[in-house]
Amino acid sequence: MEIVFAGFGGQGVLTAGLITAEMALENGKNVTWMPAYGPTMRGGKAYSVVKYADGIIGGPDMEEIDILVAMNEPSLEYAAYLKEGGLIIANTNNVSEDAPIDSKFRVIRIPCLTLAQKAQNPKAANIVAIGAMIKACGLFPEEQAKAVLRQIFVDKGKEKYTAMNEAAFMEGYQAV
Amino acid sequence: MRKMWKGNHAIAEAAMRAGCQFYAGYPITPQTEVSEYLSYRMPELGRRFLQAENEMAAVYMIFGAYACGMRSMTSSSGPGFSLKQEGIAYLCANNYPAVLVNVQRWGPGLGTLDSSQTDYLRDTRGGGNGDYRVIVYAPNSIQETVDLMYNAFDVAEKYRNPVEILSEAALGQMMEPVEFPPFKERTEDLGWTFDGTDRPHGRIDNPQKPDALRAKVAAITANEQRWENYRVEDADYVFVAFGLPSRTCRNAVDQLREQGVKVGLIRPITVWPFPYKAFEEIPDTVKGVISVESTDAGQLIEDVALAVKKMCPGNVPVYGLFSGQKIPKTKEIVAFFGGVRSGETKEVF
């Protein structure tokens, strides 16, 4: 499985990849996570690649993507590496409705930021996207995914955000 | 329990497990997390961390620490490593061990932050003035980075020669699940360090030096070659790749084998000493050997060509896929191989 989270710096695409990587590890898989970003902290192009498999994983960078989570419109350029029949999750808060997407791909359009705001957690648009992705593809059981999400923030000493993050996750999960 | 670790943090923690007592370094992307991690981890363990005023100062600080027998290391990326070369030459001239980490970025000059292997020739040939070699490990996963670092001090002290871990930007930045070995400590005296007595301190001067270096190189070459061969035994074509390109190469081998094409992969784990012994397994019927590397115009290929000359009968052609500042993709390797097989792509050697 090869998943790319792409957007601009500050949208949480590196963290989204990390959370997904931890979920895959919990699921007993071999995992790689690779970040890519420019020298700027905010606003520049950024993406992370998560790969997981039962066997050995090849190169960590994008090769043949199964799922592309496009948090903004320029990220759609990575569709060039998407497998035929691959899935694009497009954040409609930053990807316009008429953005050209090849019909050989499946597309789910959801307003990640709007849903995160609805969950009183405007920084968690990335977690909304994860919820939608897991539901759409059945990657991990819902309870297991939520438990990993909780643990990651507890380990970071950010326990107080647990409920807010879970709410954001569920907004995405139920939107699909 | 296996946990997700960033390559740069994992190599730093592995150095702690291996008994490193002193670190000096200077920040440079994509290596800075090594220093950052050690800046809080070392005081926590009661060890010494120092951010030096520059790279050259850092390497001379570990020179001094090792003169007194402390397990010591420094780390940098390509440009900073160039600055350290004077000190590395001095370490070698004095027969001192040391552990060096180079998280490569694409050069020359200041280069970029992109992942590459463009320091290959400098680091496998000594890199500074004078005649010396550094033992160079080139891991291709974070677990292997940890395992090699864990033994690096032992090997450096055994031969009284610096050992380098040659990492790559992506390998330093990425995360994989890792399991760490337990903490270890060397307690015995190295026998040559400055301990307040007037015992000999190990520097070998003329006229004995050339013989001593030849003997050291011969011993390291005989004992320390490390590699991993994959499906080489019946291969018509053999890829050679180290570090991250070896991983996409392995995928390419599997894909081509599925199509019924007999290909294999030699993965050097030590790039100096170069694993000539790995080439013994190549069948005499081999049609070509292909170097796959993240360089612009080919560096590893020179060692591959020498190994093929020594180990394969006849004049086996050696090809090169040079992917520049990125890891070659599996697809690109398979496509390149198509050109080799059809005769469209010409050999380099």
- Each residue's pLDDT tens digit, B214-245: 999 999 999 999 999 999 999 999 999 999 99
Our CA-based measurement puts residue B176 at a distance from the nearest CA of chain A, in whole angstroms, of 5
- Is A25–B175 a contact, with Cβ atoms under 8 angstroms apart? no
pLDDT range class, residue A40, cuts 50, 70, 90: low
The residue of chain B with its CA nearest to that of A14 is B174
Q: Which CATH architecture has domain B227-342?
A: 3-Layer(aba) Sandwich (3.40)
Residue B321's SS3 state is strand
| CB B326, CB B115: distance < 8 Å | yes
Burial class (CB in 10 A: 0-12, 13-18, 19+), B179: exposed
Instruction: For chain A, give every domain's residue range.
Output: 2-175
| CB nearest A34 (choices: B113, B174, B177) | B174
- Residue linked to tokens 């009183």: A120
Q: Render A34-59 in DSSP notation, one character per residue.
A: EEEE-S-SSSSEEEEEEEEESS----
Q: Check CB contact under 8 Å for A31 and B4.
A: yes
- pLDDT, mean of residues A108-134: 97
Contacts of residue B237, Cβ cutoff 8 Å, sequence gap at least 6: B261, B262, B263, B264, B286, B287, B288, B289, B290, B337, B340, B341
What is the pLDDT at residue B307?
Answer: 98
Residue A68 belongs to what H/E stretch? strand A65-70
Which candidate from A21, A31, A60 shows the least CB-CB separation from B244? A60
Q: What is the rounded average pLDDT of the residues B145-173?
A: 98
- Domain B3-223 identical in fold to domain B227-342: yes
**Of A16, A41, A37, which is closest to residue A125 (Cα–Cα)?**
A16
- Return the residue of A nearest to B250 by Cα: A58
Are B141 and B177 contacting, i.e. CB atoms less than 8 angstroms apart? no
* Cis amide linkage into residue B207, ω under 30° from 0: yes
Is the pLDDT at B261 greater than 90? The verdict is: yes
Residue of B182, B127, B143, B136 whose CA lies nearest to B159:
B136
| Residue B1: band (very low, low, confident or very high) from pLDDT cuts 50, 70, 90 | confident
CA distances from B67 to B16, B64, B198, B301 (A): 19, 5, 13, 37
Question: In chain B, which residues have their Cβ closer than 8 Å to the Cβ of A64?
Answer: 331
Nearest neighbour of A21 by CB, restricted to B4, B170, B250: B4
Question: Which chain A residues touch B245 with a CB distance below 8 Å?
Answer: 59
Residues of chain A with Cβ-Cβ distance to B144 below 8 Å are none
Q: Is B102 helix (H, G, I), strand (E, B) or coil?
A: strand
Could you give the percent of chain B with pLDDT greater than 90?
96
| CATH architecture label of A2-175 | 3-Layer(aba) Sandwich (3.40)
Share of chain B above pLDDT 70, in %: 100
Diameter of chain A by CA atoms?
44
* pLDDT tens digits for range B105-116: 999 999 888 999
Identify which of B170, B176, B250 has the shortest CB distance to residue A58.
B250
Specify the range with the lowest mean pLDDT, choosing from A26-30, A117-121, B183-187, B197-201.
B197-201
Whether A33 sits inside 8 A of B175 (CB atoms) is yes
Res B204 pLDDT > 90 = no
Domain boundaries, chain B: 3-223, 227-342
B211: CB partners within 8 A, 6+ apart: none
Identify the contact set of chain A against chain B, taking CB-CB distances under 8 A.
18, 21-22, 25, 30-35, 39, 56-61, 63-64
Residue B205 confidence (pLDDT): 80
Of A6, A7, A63, the residue nearest A32 (C-alpha): A63
Q: Is the pLDDT of residue B30 over 70?
A: yes
Best of A4, A5, A15, A25 to disrupt the B interface by mutation (most B CBs within 10 Å)? Answer: A25
- The interface predicted TM-score (ipTM) is 0.93
Task: Tell whether the torsion through CA atoms of B305, B306, B307 and B309 is positive or negative.
Answer: positive
Cβ–Cβ of A63/B331 closer than 8 Å?
Answer: yes
Mean pLDDT of B9-24: 98
**CB-nearest partner of B4 from A25, A35, A63:** A25
The CATH class given to the B3-223 domain equals alpha beta
Return the residue in A2, A56, A61 with the most chain B beta carbons within 10 A, the one to mutate for interface testing. Answer: A61
Residue B344, Cβ density class (10 Å: 0-12 exposed, 13-18 middle, ≥19 buried): exposed
Q: Which of B176, B250, B328 sits opposite A31 (nearest CB)?
A: B176
**Strand B48-51 to strand B263-268: parallel, antiparallel, or no bridges (unpaired)?**
unpaired
Mean pLDDT over A67-89 rounds to 96
Interface contact A31-B247, CB threshold 8 A:
no
Calculate mean pLDDT across residues B196-201. 90
In sequence order, which residues have a C-beta less than 8 Å from that of residue B303 and are 6 or more positions away?
B124, B268, B271, B274
CA distance B259 to A152: 43
Chain mean pLDDT for chain B = 96
Return the amino acid letter for A16.
A
Q: What is the reported pLDDT for A41?
A: 64
Rounded Cα distance between B249 and B267, Å, is 9
Nearest Cβ partner for A59 among B4, B113, B329? B329
Contact A61 B330 (CB under 8 A): no
Q: A2 to chain B, minimum CA–CA distance in Å? A: 14
Judging contacts by C-beta atoms under 8 Å, the chain A residues touching residue B330 are: 58-59, 63
pLDDT at residue A142 in the model: 94
Q: A33 vs chain B: nearest CA distance in angstroms?
A: 5
Each residue's pLDDT tens digit, B290-335:
999 999 999 999 999 999 999 999 999 999 999 999 999 999 999 9
The residues near B97 (Cβ < 8 Å, ≥ 6 apart) are: B66, B91, B153, B156, B157, B159, B160, B161, B162, B163
Give the pLDDT confidence score for residue B321 in this predicted structure. Answer: 98
